[in-house]
Chain A
Amino acid sequence: MFEVFKKELKELLRDKKTLIFIVALPVAIFPLLFAVMAFISSQATLEAEQKVHTYAIINGEYAQSFTDKVFYHKSFQLYKGEHTFNTVAELTQAVKAGTIDMGIFLPADAKQNLDDAKQSQWQVVYNDAKAINFLFDRVKELAEEFGNNLRAEKLLSYGVSVEQQSAIIDPIKVVKVDTADKRENLGEKIGGFIPYLLIPLVLMGATYPAIDLGAGEKERGTLETLLLTPITRTQLVLGKFITLLAASIATTTITVLSMGIWISIAITFIDLDVVKTAFSSLRVLDLTLIFIILLPVAAIFSSLSLAISIYARSFKEAQNYMTPLSMGVIFPIIVALLPNVELTAKTAFIPVTNVALAIKEIIKGTIDYTLLGLIFLATVIVAGALLAFCVKWFNKEAVLFR
């Protein structure tokens, strides 16, 4: 069995294509991909925010202080072109034509409206689908400031002091007293995505070498050569299974280490205290628990992908069969991401979902160790059953010589 394992490992390490998927991809491509995405997105936002946007305002004299604030705002520049605008329709047309970036329409004197006990409705015309949707927030902020001042003046004229005003406007203020610490809070928010990243990588670490070890051997004729040797099918399957398990664990380890290194590098640059606190509260024990709980998952994926691969007639056919397997793995992880899906005695028995939920709880620091033990046991049993199935599968002539 160990001779088969040693040989498979040697061959695997000489296969550039598989090495790319097992080592290079988790080490370089993922962080690179994230970095590129973050860079492009931040550049686009930065560019949009730094750009000065042209605007036009209709009836600006109805709210002069507001009009002045918009005029002197660093992000806005008053349109000084040949067009004149009198209606919202004209503003809309100008935004669509790209003549202006934003139009503001004040239909009536806001102060007069307030005196007449009427609410004023201002309209901001802009393209919400573009990366300039922050324009609305800025105008809204300035408009609210203007509105607050109007209200304060009015209430003052009624003899309501500034102190009384806040109590009248907002008689009850609800204050949140959060019992969750920063780790639990952040764990709840991002904890679900960590297994979403980790578990498919465990699968990927098993599937790529599995295709080579099963269907690849069939295609190259080496499987029949191997079947001629005096080793039992159980030894043969175990040798291949251990190789896949090692590859899968290696991919996971490399990914976790790579992610850890990249996060620590990123923290030194971006100096995010929340992230720092959350990750520094993750103990070595927690990471070890995540690693241990992933071991039987790796065993499940290794057995499944080996069984699928040996059934396939060719490399290509095996690749086709692996796609539904990947989808079948993603689905239970998504279930774990759904709101209100918690780790309970029931969900602890749903394969893959249980591990995803356990990882989330470990990251939050709220894992129930009895449930964790139950999940480990359940996953080991499933892995054992699948391995036994794999051995049986390898004994079937109809599978080996399709």
Chain B
Amino acid sequence: MASEPESPLKAVPALPKVATGISGFDAITFGGLPKGRPSLVCGAAGCGKTLFATTFLVNGATRFGEPGVFMSFEERAEDLVANVASLGYDLDGLVAQGKLAIDHVRVERGEIEETGEYDLEGLFIRLGFAVDSIGAKRVVLDTIETLFAGFSDETVLRAELRRLFGWIKDRGLTAIITGERGDGQLTRQGMEEYVSDCVVLLDNRVEDQITTRRLRVVKYRGSAHGTNEYPFLIDAEGISVLPVTSADLDYTIAEGVIATGIAGLDAMLEPGGFHRGTSILISGEAGTGKTMIASSMIDAACARGERCMAFVFEESGHQIARNARSVGLDLARHVEAGLLRFEAARPSLYGLEMHLARMHRDIDRFEPALVVIDPLSALRGPPVELQSTMLRMIDLLKSRGITAVFTSLREDGDIDHDSAIGVSSLMDAWVKLLNVEANGERSRTLYVIKARGMRHSNQVREFTMSEVGIALIDAYIGPAGVLTGTARVVQEAEEAAAALRREQENLRRQREALRRRRSLERQIDELRATLESVEEEEALLLSEDEMRETTLANGRRNLAARRGSAR
């Protein structure tokens, strides 16, 4: 176990570090391995120790201008060169350029007869010579424990190893010592006793027949470091460690709004589309049109001249392109133009980590503005791992300002039936597709469940897919409920008929009222005429009366006059 070795070195304000160039590892160690000190990389057979060490050297030589010495106690130089050639590492070339020295130390017990006192000065001389010949700054000893098999005098060996690590420190060499994992301790021979500044443990686990490699920084004296187990990946691109890229949510957000290519959907969202750089979940059961909506978004993005990348797990790229033709989208044209790339793979082909790492790499290389993962629910794994994978996937995309479209078969947005992994909460926008079954038919409907940072329609829309594209229709919402499909058409027809009836009734009533009004007016006219004739008669009678009165008065006067004259 880790004993207290030599007194802490002179206290330097910040521990100088040497970048390994292994993406992710430098991030979790905040800079790399401790400069000028040996570090221990241990793990079981086949977990990538040698590759880790080789990558450290190759990156040092090619990217950081630090030549390195590889002292191999196990593999011959030729084997080593051949083994890493598949990763594109040209060790022979680096050796020829004087950036790398490989020394194979062969240790065979049968060939060594011990006849008295000895030490391992020869090893020091070889290492020293190799270091001096190329001015090396980095050293790898892989796997120095092999020495224990070759020499019987363990006391001498341990003393010499202690001296060797002291020598490495004195020379200011940054070294990786690899060690095979032993029972109950990190390495078989307890190398951690000698190399105590930085210990990295590599692991290779098989769960559900899928292998996941993991890396953990066991200790790092004098430095903070990520303490979790991080998955790492070895593929044609070398080694990459995948930390949860941003535990802190401090990525800058991309500005702008992207249209979906579906006019009706854009109209449901206040800014006329989704925010750029957000993650969008399209959930719905089989056959609800998820892929078609995703295809439509791809087409819209490509038409704007943006790059798109689609990771498809259930269909081939060709099949999706062909199917999209049925709604009038020509995706093949974008593929040819180099704007669109399909990456199709069965979900079971790799473990989750591998999928994630593959995406990571492809995305970094293609630099798309839109990424489609279709469907997200195809990825299977232990719930905890699944969730962390999703998180990292979303982080990965968000930190790059990439708009992500995920489709999910589960309409409630969960990934797993048994657990409550709500991907939906990680998503910025959620479009839910629902098949409504009524009257012996199914019709497609669409809701915008949420869209962070924008006002959006809360109403359901019916959508149809035809050769001219995807169109959204306002669903019937009325006293009879929400109706779609034929029921909507029937209801609308009924409503139209009723409206017509109402209108006709109205007209009839208006006519009736008019008629009555006219008849009344006619009556008024008649009465008025009667009144006039009455008035005329009255006037006539009145004048006759006057004339009679006058005549009578005249008669009386005449009579009086006649009587008066007679007296």
A and B assemble together? no
- A residues near B (Cβ < 8 Å) are none
